[in-house]
Every structure is written in structure tokens, then in C-alpha cells.
């Protein structure tokens, strides 16, 4: 009695089935991870501390009360520098730097 088995050496169908099963498992795992991440994301929250709110208010007040720039004075200085007419007093500059350094410490 002879048994006729076709495509005994062809394993492509078996490989394809295994690959499909692996892909299906991966998709199920990805879907589970996505749903878990969505649940976690729904629980996330942000709160601003009272100190941060106070800091924000202080920054707004400081920017509002900052002295306005004197555009006329700035233009005069720019033109004097460009014309080479602006003279620097090195002694006054050194004294200003020294006093600034002393104020910092």
C-alpha cells in the first residue's frame, strides 16, 4: 500500500502560518500596551505650586514697573560712537566696576 504525500518538502505554508501567529500575538501585545498607556495618561495631572504662581506675578510686576528705555539717549550714544566722538573716562569706568564688584560680595 502506497501513501502519496504531496509537498512534503515545501514548508512555506507552515512558515507563513507561524509568522501570522507571531504577528497576531505582537498586535495583541501592542494593543494591550496602548490601552495601558492610555489609562496611565488619563491619570496624569499637572499642578502649579503657590510659589510658582507668586513667582509669575512678581515677574509680571517687575516687567511692568521696569523703567522705559530712553530712545533719544540711545540714539545720541549710537551716533556719538559711530562718529568716534564718544570718549571713555578710564578712571570713572574702573571706579564703577570696582563698586559693582563690592556690591556683589
Q: Which three cell numbers stand for residue 55?
A: 513667582
Q: Report residues of the chain scoring pLDDT below 50.
A: none
In a domain, 5, yes or no: no
pLDDT at 77 (0 to 100): 93
In a domain, 32, yes or no: yes
In a domain, 82, yes or no: yes
Q: Record the pTM.
A: 0.30
Q: Which three cell numbers stand for residue 36?
A: 495601558
Greatest Cα pair distance in the chain = 119
Print the domain residue range for 29: 12-43
C-alpha 101/C-alpha 31 separation (Å) is: 62
pLDDT at 37 (0 to 100): 76
**Number of domains within the chain:** 2
Residues 6+ apart with CB under 8 A from 91: none
Which whole-number Å values give the CA distances from 70 to 52, 66, 96, in the listed order?
32, 12, 21
In a domain, 26, yes or no: yes
In a domain, 2, yes or no: no
C-alpha 53/C-alpha 62 separation (Å) is: 14
In a domain, 93, yes or no: yes
pLDDT at 27 (0 to 100): 84
C-alpha 50/C-alpha 9 separation (Å) is: 74
Amino acid at each position: 500500500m502506497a501513501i502519496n504525500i504531496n509537498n512534503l518538502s515545501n514548508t512555506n505554508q507552515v512558515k507563513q502560518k507561524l509568522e501570522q501567529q507571531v504577528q497576531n500575538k505582537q498586535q495583541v501585545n501592542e494593543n494591550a500596551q496602548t490601552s495601558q498607556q492610555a489609562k496611565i495618561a488619563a491619570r496624569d495631572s499637572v499642578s502649579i505650586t503657590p510659589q510658582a504662581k507668586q513667582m509669575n506675578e512678581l515677574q509680571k510686576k517687575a516687567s511692568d514697573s521696569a523703567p522705559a528705555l530712553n530712545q533719544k539717549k540711545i540714539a545720541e550714544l549710537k551716533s556719538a560712537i559711530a562718529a568716534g566722538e564718544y570718549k571713555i573716562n578710564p578712571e570713572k569706568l574702573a571706579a564703577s566696576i570696582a563698586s559693582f564688584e563690592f556690591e556683589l560680595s
